[in-house]
Structure 1
Amino acid sequence: MPDLTPATSSYPIPSDEEAVKFEKIRSSIHENSESASHYVACEIAELIRSRQKEGKNVVLGLATGSTPTKLYDYLVRFHKEEGLSFKNVITFNLDEYYPMEPDSIHSYVRFMKEHLFDHIDIPAKNIHIPDGTLEKEDVRAFCLDYEKKIQQAGGLDIQILGIGRTGHIGFNEPGSSLGSITRMVRLDRVTRLDAASDFFGLDNVPTKAITMGVGTILSAKRIIMMAWGEGKSDIIHKAVEGKQRESIPATFLQNHPNCEVITDRPAASALTRIATPWLVSECDWDDILIKRAAIWLSQTLGKAILKLTNEDYNEYGMGNLIAEIGSAEHINLQVFNNLQRTISGWPGGKPNADDSNRPERRDPFPKRSLIFSPHPDDDVISMGGTLLRLVDQGHQVHVAYQTSGNIAVFDDEVIRFLDFATDIQEGNQELHDQFKEVRTFLSQKKPGEVDSAEIQNFKALIRKGEALSACRYCGVPEANAYFMNLPFYETGTVKKKPHSEADIIQTYELLQSIRPHQIFAAGDLSDPHGTHRVCLQIIFQALERLKKEEASWLKDCYVWLYRGAWQEWDIADMEMAVPIGPKDMERKKNAIFKHQSQKDSAMFPGHDQREFWQRAEQRNRETARRYDALGLAEYEALEGFVRYPL
């Protein structure tokens, strides 16, 4: 999948001694999580094979969660395709929720079986996972025995870690001590919020867990901590470059002599050598890096771009830029004009106007604009102001809802709609019997249990009705709303199937039927369970197929990426910023309100508990404030876009 870090993707990653001078843990940055996971899997496989030749065991400390799943996929592949045996491998898992039955869909026992153990030849007696079924009074003795078994096995050769948003490793939450060992802990609220989507609600997330301690982890001969995505960039920066402190347990890894942090580019984006390379060594300056540096300097000093001086640039490691360009005034004007040109109230292009300095072309007019929405409300949440502007300015707007979004509907919503239906059709015995079956199922349903196909369909219809209501409000004809219900999503659970040819073909055929002049797609890759990422990958693969076929209409098509409820583009990356006035902000919020099943409380809020309309409003206003602080015109709000090159 193409890298979506526009400002850094074209640059080599500096790794010389000078470039990494701020990093207190060795860090390896890979193009993506696939190559990074393969790198780690190869190291583990090499150690297993070398120990087999010596007739010795390998002791691995293993992690769970979304981060190591690709690693386990590669290990399984090495076993099946290359004959890698795990008979000499002993494993100890980091943690387990408490209490937790091993066959629960939330159990780490089940996770490890599904992702690794059931697919390799590791002896069952060599597998060790904390026991979530113990009586409370037996936990302490179990934990001491767990420590003893690790020592008897010869100690951990490699410990695999992920990292939580609080900086926790394992379930060692903020406040964990350097010498802590395996024990029961109380989970931090942030950790529980991050797990809420998997448990279908915060109330269902356990409050305790059994975890290896920081001291246990640090006793490993080698530690590999992995992190993927922009959502982990801030905590990776703190763990790798920050001071050691108990409030961020991952910083204790700085004490380990053989620890390595493995990331993809987005997760490393806040490291000094990536975010501000001019602070570590001289740079090869181009327009993109100059823009990023000037904006950073303006924000750091709290000065408008046009007020930056030669001395400001020199003081912050950019003396060679001044020497190269000639003066701060020249740099400031270049960057200011670049930013000014990104602002456009005509996201579909302004007819009969000079478009040489505008982000969108004036012709053709009107345009066919296709908005891909991963969930049934992402269109209005993420780019509702732009959508309204496109409709108001006479463009032919089409909206493709890529997934049904059915797992994000509360059970009570189904009951509410069926109550209405049975009252309207009083005496309809078939509907009455159906309603009775649904009520019975839902009354006995366990947290996280998969809905029946019938209930999944009801929930999809609820979200479809809300999306159509929002379309009508925004002026999009119902005939221009497409409910794709892509197959990869339709599992009824948080965990989705890998996308398939069927998903790509469906997207390809829609693109061919509309032949848009503009495509808007979600570039927000930090949604809680990855739907946006998969939806974007499907679009890219369909576009690649069209490029190979040399589809004529594609040559006259722009692809714009928006971001959603979880993050915003950096201003240095934005290539189009669409102003939203007070009236249009109210209209955008009203369109979001049409999605009543997501109002007041969403099933999957992520780490932000605010309603989606509140997040959208704050994010758009904050973008406008940042433009204003740089010295540009003051707007009520702005929606930002990055153009994806075809």
Structure 2
Amino acid sequence: MKNVLDIKPDISYKSVGHFEETRFEKIHNAIFKNATDASIVVAHEIATLIQTKQKESKNCVLGLATGSSPVKVYEELVRMHKEEGLSFHNVITFNLDEYYPMTKENNQSYHYFMHEHLFNHIDIKPENINIPDGTVAIDEINQYCIDYEMSIKTVGGLDFQLLGIGRTGHIGFNEPGSHVNSGTRIITLDHVTRSDASSAFNGISNVPKKAITMGVSTVLKSKRIVLLAWGENKADVITTTIQGEISSDIPATFLQNHNNTTFILDVFAASQLTRFKTPWLVGECKWTQELKRKAIVWLCQQTNQSILKLTDRDYNNHGMSDLLALEGSAYDLNINMFNVLQHTITGWPGGKPNTDDTNRPERALPDKKRVIIFSPHPDDDVISMGGTFYKLIKQGHDVHVVYQTSGNIAVTDHEALKFAEVANDFSGDNKESINFLKVIEFLRNKKENQIDALDVRKLKGLIRRRESYAATRLLGLKDENIHFLDLPFYETGQIKKNPLGSKDVEIIENIISELQPHQVFAAGDLADPHGTHEICLNAIFAAMKNLKNQSYMNDCWLWLYRGAWHEWDTHEIDMAVPLSPDEVLIKRYAILSHQSQKDRVMFQGNDSREFWVRAEDRNKNTAKLYDFLGLPEYEAIEAFKRFDY
């Protein structure tokens, strides 16, 4: 069978196939390296359906979804319309849902979303567009929903339904508890769903509490269903949906009973499926070093034993007898893996001078390294690797921190207004680069969904910038080693960012060329709720690839840290940097220097804890896991994965 990671965008996943008939999986699925390739394939299936219907002189009835998942599908359909002549003149669309109450003009409405991403750019007839109306009077909603259902039936039902999935397992807005026979109706949104949407609404308090949605029954009547899921945030619910029992607690599991459904996943969303998470339970494995690490750590957790206590019976009883046969005995396996994990631990993240570095994660030479710490936002550096940051400075390395974006969007209006009023009181009538009276007037009268004025964005960026100086000074970094890039993709004044551009990559290239580092640390956490981390990481990858032929890049190693949302799994860790209690405290104080991000964090995702609490808990949990495995006990550990660019 062809490896799904080799699937090219112009090859149908249906013809190639990537569904392993195991006792675990109950829904057909295909896994791609990234969302872009997968989305192009889905768009081509939709286009083929449209064209087939045109040849038959029939309408093509599409059920459409909103949210981040289908955006690239719509981009490809628009491209095919403009460049290849794909016509939508025979297409009738029905959208899954809409917030309630919600005006069509609101830029958070799904009406606005669909026109912005698709309808304004194709030749679909306006009368063929059907989107639930978020302005229907409350006493008319029941009849409106009945009429919406009848409209779908009148045109012959849905030929194709595109779906996303929420972390609650909702499809459309069919939240937990939705019945398999449910039709179009008004529904109360789950708190998790509203929390996930909070970044788009500048806080959960602004997210509507209700929505109009197609029902589970409506969706299941579709002739063809394709569900899209990207990113590790969706991994748990995808696994439950594909492998779990059918339950109204996870409405997406009802799709198990649909005879023409495919889940289209990227590798991150698929990562918790049994064949990826614990492939030794499915069949024979190719036992790479990383897979051995993963399996043995898992075995320790299953048996509640440290590595050196595992026995032959433990391996045999947990589906790993072939590994045991390959290595000879549990004793040999245990000793080898203990040594591998022990060698990841170092208190010298820049390398220990005058020491044999054969089994150390970093090189001994040069003993004083030039180091770049890239930080997507102005606090990711201290949240994710504040202790390592401090060690690198203390151990004499030439450390530079590079803030890739201004972070202005994450400053609340309330916080900005406070600073503007203080600055205005202090400066009086002096002419400053920021007109604080105008800023104050704007913030006091700011309308819903209004984009910040330039001076407001400038002020919010300065707040983040000065907080960064305060944090890094606590760690002992010189001010001249702090760099602010303000990458253009971020500076839109709204949650939605521009795509990564050549100018963004060029700016990253310039700072790397200027500093010629031996070490680069970058954020590898792609669970960031509003996508900035992924764009920033892709900019670094592109820049380092472009510079790869430069001689100084031969000595440059790239280390990835995780952010405020996840930590590397133990089998993924290449460098574990222990922190003392005092270093944990210094890291905490550095994080707390970012006062605008304390208490009223706008984009904290589904975790209500403050960032400093998350960071400490995560680092302490990593240390506890190393201790549990039988390795030395530490107060906390920051973890890194080396990446070959």
Whether these two folds match at TM > 0.5 is yes
Deviation of the 1:433 alpha carbon? 10
**Match status 1:387 vs 2:386:** no
Corresponding letter in the other structure for 2:363: R
Corresponding residue number in structure 1 for 2:472: 471
Q: For 1:493 and 1:165, locate their aligned partners in 2 and report how far apart those are by CA, in whole Å.
A: 24
d(CA) in 1 for partners of 2:44, 2:344: 44
- On the 8 A contact 2:19/2:30 being kept in 1, the answer is no
Q: What's the CA shift string for 1:100-129, capped at 9, x where partnerless?
A: 010101010110001000111111111100
Matches within 5 A, 1:71-470: 71-426=73-428, 428=429, 430=431, 434-470=435-471
State whether residues 422 and 431 of structure 1, in contact with CA within 8 Å, keep that contact through their aligned partners in structure 2: no
Which amino acid in the other structure matches residue 124 of structure 1? P
Cα distance between partner residues in 2 of 1:320 and 1:585? 42
Is this contact kept in 1: 2:423–2:436, CA < 8 A?
Answer: no
Aligned residues: 632
Quote the Cα distance in structure 1 between the aligned partners of 2:474 and 2:304.
40
- Structure 1 spans left out of the alignment, 5+ residues: 6-12
Supply the AA of the counterpart residue of 1:566: W
Give yes or no for contact 1:19–1:277 (8 Å, CA) kept in 2: no
CA drift of 1:19 comes to 5.5
One-letter code of the match for 1:333?
Answer: I
1:373-405 CA distance string (max 9 Å, x none): 000000000000100110111111100000000
Which whole-Å deviations, capped at 9, do the CAs of 1:241-265 have from their partners, x for residues lacking one?
Answer: 0111111111111111111111011
Matched, 1:567 2:558: no
- What amino acid is aligned across from residue 389 of structure 1 in structure 2? K
Does the 8 A contact of 2:270 with 2:276 survive in 1? yes
The aligned residue for residue 9 of structure 2 is none
State TM-score, norm by structure 1. Answer: 0.96
Match runs of 1:31-110 below 5 Å = 31-110=33-112
Residues 408-444 of structure 1, C-alpha deviations (whole Å, 9 max, x = no match)? 1111222222232233234x16469933322221122
Q: Distance in 1 between matches of 2:192 and 2:111?
A: 23
Give the letter for the 2:136 counterpart: L
Query: In structure 1, what residue type is equivalent to 2:354?
Result: N
| 1:26 to 1:432, Cα distance in 2 relative to 1, 3 A | closer
- Note if 1:519 corresponds to 2:520: yes
What is aligned with 2:612? 613
Change beyond 3 A, Cα 1:18–1:25: closer
| Alignment-derived partner of residue 640 in structure 2 | 641
Change (3 A) 1:429 1:553: closer
Higher mean Cα deviation, 305-314 or 366-375? 305-314
Opposite residue 455 of structure 1, the aligned amino acid is: V
Tell me the distance in 2 between the aligned counterparts of 1:414 and 1:150: 48
Q: Do the aligned partners of residues 18 and 51 (structure 1) sit closer, same or farther apart at CA in structure 2, a change above 3 Å counting?
A: closer
1:293–1:344 CA distance, 2 compared to 1 (3 A): same
Cα–Cα, structure 1 residues 285 and 429, in superposed 2: closer, same or farther, change >3 Å? Answer: closer
Following the alignment from structure 1 to structure 2, what is the Cα–Cα distance between the partners of residues 401 and 574?
Answer: 24
d(CA) in 2 for partners of 1:437 and 1:369? 41
Work out whether residues 198 and 448 of structure 1, in 8 Å CA contact, stay in contact via their aligned partners in 2: no
Alignment partners' CA distance in 1, 2:433 and 2:341? 60
- Residue type of the alignment partner of 2:572: D
Report the equivalent of 1:8.
none
Q: What letter is aligned with 1:182? A: T
Letter in 1 for 2:471: A
Pairwise mapping of residues 561-600 of structure 1 onto structure 2 (< 5 A)? 561-600=560-599
Counterpart CA distance in 2 for 1:342 and 1:587 is 23
Contact kept, 8 Å, 2:31 with 2:266, in 1: the verdict is yes
- Letter matched to residue 593 of structure 2: K
Partner of residue 490, structure 1: 491
How much has 1:222 moved relative to structure 2? 1.2
Alpha-carbon spacing, 1:59–1:171, altered in 2? closer, same or farther (3 Å): same
Residue deviations 1:208-267 (CA, integer Å, cap 9, x gap)? 000001111111111111100111111100010011111111111111111111101111
Match for 2:100: what amino acid? Answer: Y
The question of whether the paired residues in 2 share the 8 Å contact of 1:160 and 1:223 is answered with: yes
Give yes or no for contact 1:19–1:280 (8 Å, CA) kept in 2: no
For residues 434 and 375 of structure 2, the distance between their equivalents in structure 1, rounded to whole angstroms, comes to 35
Q: 1:86 to 1:557 in 2, by over 3 A?
A: same
CA distance in 2, matches of 1:397, 1:32: 33
Matched residues in 2 for 1:586 and 1:248: separation?
Answer: 41
Whole-Å Cα distance in 1 between the matches of residues 21 and 638 of structure 2? 34
In the TM superposition, residue 18 of structure 1 has moved relative to its aligned partner by: 5.9
Aligned mates of 1:635, 1:341 — CA distance in 2: 15
What is the CA distance between 1:635 and its match in structure 2?
1.1
For 1:432 and 1:488, the matched residues in 2 are separated by 23
State the one-letter code of the partner of 1:119.
H
Give me the identity figure in percent: 55
Q: Which amino acid aligns with 2:627?
A: D
Structure 1 residue identity aligned to 2:143: A
C-alpha RMSD of the superposition: 1.6
Deviation larger for 520-529 or 282-291: 282-291
Aligned to 2:8: none
C-alpha contact 1:625 1:634 (8 A) present in aligned 2 = yes
| Residues 191-222 of structure 1 deviation map (CA, whole Å, 9 limit, x = unaligned) | 11111110001111100000001111111111
Q: Does the residue aligned with 2:599 lie in a helix, a strand or coil?
A: coil
- State the Cα distance separating 1:631 from its structure 2 match: 1.3
Q: Residue type matched to 1:123 in 2?
A: K
Q: For 2:350, what is the secondary structure of its paired residue?
A: coil
* Aligned-partner Cα distance in 1 for 2:425–2:140: 54
C-alpha distance 18-424 of structure 1, shift in aligned 2 (>3 A): closer
- CA distance in 2 between counterparts of 1:558 and 1:429 reads 48
Question: How far apart are the structure 2 equivalents of 1:559 and 1:482?
Answer: 19
Q: Is the 8 A contact 2:19 2:28 kept in 1?
A: no
Question: What is the rounded CA distance, in whole Å, between the counterparts of 1:131 and 1:65 in structure 2?
Answer: 17
Q: CA deviation at 1:45?
A: 0.9
* CA deviation profile, 1:104-159 (whole Å, cap 9, x unmatched): 01010110001000111111111100000111011111100000010111111111
Contact between 2:403 and 2:486, CA under 8 Å: does it hold in 1? yes
Counterpart of 1:603, as a letter, is: M
CA distance in 1, matches of 2:63, 2:608: 34
Amino acid at match of 1:360: E
- For residue 80 of structure 1, report the CA deviation from its aligned partner: 1.0
Q: Tell me how far apart the structure 1 counterparts of residues 500 and 204 of structure 2 sit (CA, whole Å).
A: 28
Question: 1:21 is matched with which residue?
Answer: 23
- Structure 1 pair 117/299, CA: closer, same or farther in 2 (3 Å)? same
> Matches of 2:495 and 2:18 in 1, distance apart?
41
